[in-house]
Amino acid sequence: MKRILTGLQPSGELTIGSLIGGISQTIKYQDEYESFIFVPDLHAITVPQDAKLLHERIKKNVALYIASGVNPEKNTIYIQSDNLYHTNLAWILECNTYMGEASRMTQFKDKSSKFKNIPVGLFTYPILMASDILLYDADYVPVGIDQKQHVELARDIAIRFNGKYGDTFKIPEPLIPKTGAKIMDLQDPTKKMSKSETNPKGIIYLLDDEKTIRKKIMSAVTDSEAKVCYDPEKKPGISNLLTIYAYFKKVTIEESEKEFIGKNYGEFKTKVADIVVEELLKIQEKYNEIMKDNQIDIILNKGKEITTEIAKKKYEEVVKKIGLGR
Ligand code: AMP
Ligand code: TRP
């Protein structure tokens, strides 16, 4: 079975956009591949983080992923900073990466332009990412298009290392998901629902309570036509609600459209709210159960144990090949 490896950034509170666009992909992959899922907390600190918030989010997000259907029996789930080999191998890879290559990373150019004093870690971050991937001989790395260049750097580093020291690393391939549903902001349906947006009125968080969810959906921006049909160009608000409804109801958009022929927007929104509430409350119930006892620690300890053993073996092979140590 081919192995995939994904990193879930512990940034921001998870939304129904993260669920529909991101988590659902991860759930799909767990049946096709042996999957390694980790929280790249060491990557998160390349930009300033509030220590308390960061710490809370790490477990919270893992629990939400599991509550949403990421099966801890089928996936190896772990925390990056729990495994010291990630940074150890990263150093060695840094010594085998050229300034020219690292300087080409467009994400660094974007992110660094926001700083007066740029953290060095922000520059070397893609090399730590290469280490995350190469330690585990991952076949595929599912990432958004913005991360493709980083996976390509990991490939270049691996190819060069193998050429110099003999076959050591598997050459990973990026796996860019076919563009799935994009969930839009309820208050401005022309822009993506984003967890970094500051106005929470347009965003449904996975942990919102029933009253809040209903209120946000009932006040979602629509249009004045009073006809429920799918037309993202002319009717972005209604189309977005139809997409959300279809996802949670597990039907197609066409089927959802049919269901609401002749219904007014109030009735339609109430039905959307009903299904979102029903499904999110199920996730929240599981989430509370997972957070209540020490299940999450058991899962993460198991992940730490499995991945440390694999990483140690790979690291020791590298150390030997390049002549380090005794
Ligand atoms: P994020 O939760 O923003 O870190 O994103 C995790 C995954 O969910 C990525 O693959 C994103 O592309 C996807 N995602 C986040 N927000 C949305 C959205 N509003 N609609 C669709 N996909 C999204
Ligand atoms: N850089 C990725 C992001 O910002 C997260 C990440 C870190 C990652 N290491 C990884 C993703 C290894 C895939 C594989 O989303």
The number of the ligand nearest the C-alpha atom of 186 reads 1
To the query of whether residue 195 is one of the catalytic residues in this protein, the response is yes
d(CA 79, CA 61): 12
Tell whether ligand 2 has an atom less than 6 A from the beta carbon of residue 228: no
Catalytic one of 148, 195, 263, 304: 195
Question: How many other C-beta atoms can be found within 10 angstroms of the C-beta atom of residue 145?
Answer: 10
Q: What is the Å distance from ligand 1's center to 57 Cα? A: 16
Backbone phi, psi, residue 209, to 5°: -85, 170
In sequence order, what are the residues at sequence separation of 6 or more whose Cβ sits closer than 8 angstroms to the Cβ of residue 267? 260
Output the pLDDT for position 294. Answer: 87
pLDDT the model gives residue 21: 87
Q: How far away, in angstroms, is 17 Cα from ligand 2 center?
A: 18
Length of the chain: 326
Question: For ligand 1, is residue 24 a contact (CB within 6 Å)?
Answer: no
Gap from CA of 203 to ligand 1 centroid (Å): 12
Alpha carbon separation from 323 to 52, 160, 186, 302, 318 (Å, rounded): 41, 17, 57, 32, 9
51-68 helix and 295-322 helix, angle to the nearest 10 degrees: 110
Catalytic residue among 111, 215, 227, 263: 111
Residues of the chain with pLDDT > 90, as a percent, come to 89
Q: DSSP string spanning 184-240?
A: BPSS-TTSB--TT-S-GGG--BTT--HHHHHHHHHT----SS------TTT-HHHHH
d(CA 153, CA 126): 8
Flag whether pLDDT at 195 surpasses 90: no
Atom of ligand 2 nearest to the CA of 129: 9
- The answer to whether residue 234 is catalytic is no
10 lines ligand 2 (CB under 6 A): no
In this prediction, residue 22 carries a pLDDT of 87
* Pairing outcome for strands 140-142 and 34-39: unpaired
CA distance 40 to 54: 11
* Ligand number nearest to the C-alpha of 132: 2
Q: What pLDDT, on the 0 to 100 scale, is given for residue 11?
A: 76
Superfamily of domain 200-288: Tyrosyl-Transfer RNA Synthetase (1.10.240.10)
- The one-letter amino acid at 142: P
- Told to judge if 192 belongs to the known catalytic residues of this protein, a careful annotator would answer yes
Q: For ligand 1, atom 15, name the residue with the nearest CA.
A: 18
Ligand 2 neighbour 86 (Cβ under 6 A) = no
**The tokens of 24 are what?**
């659902």
Distance CA 319, CA 83 (A): 17
Task: Phi first, then psi: give them for residue 216, nearest 5 degrees.
Answer: -65, -40
Q: Whose CA is nearest to atom 9 of ligand 1?
A: 22
Please tell me the number of the ligand nearest to residue 153's CA: 2
Write the pLDDT tens digit of every residue in 15-52.
999 999 889 989 999 999 999 999 999 999 999 999 99
Ligand 2 pocket: which of 3, 150, 153 to mutate (most atoms within 8 A of CB): 150
180 has pLDDT over 80: no
Query: What confidence tens digit (pLDDT) does each residue in 106-162 have?
Result: 999 999 999 999 999 999 999 999 999 999 999 999 988 889 999 999 999 999 999
pLDDT tens-place string over residues 60-100? 999 999 999 999 999 999 999 999 999 999 999 999 999 99
Is residue 195 within 6 Å of ligand 1 at its C-beta?
A: yes
40 C-beta closer than 6 A to ligand 2: yes
**CATH for the stretch 3-180+294-322:** 3.40.50.620
Nearest ligand (C-alpha, residue 144): 1
Pocket mutation for ligand 1, best pick of 13, 14, 15, 18 (most atoms within 8 Å of C-beta): 18
Strands 3-7 and 34-39: parallel
Q: How far apart are CA 198 and CA 103, in angstroms?
A: 32
Domain spans in the chain, listed from the N-terminal domain onward: 3-180+294-322, 200-288
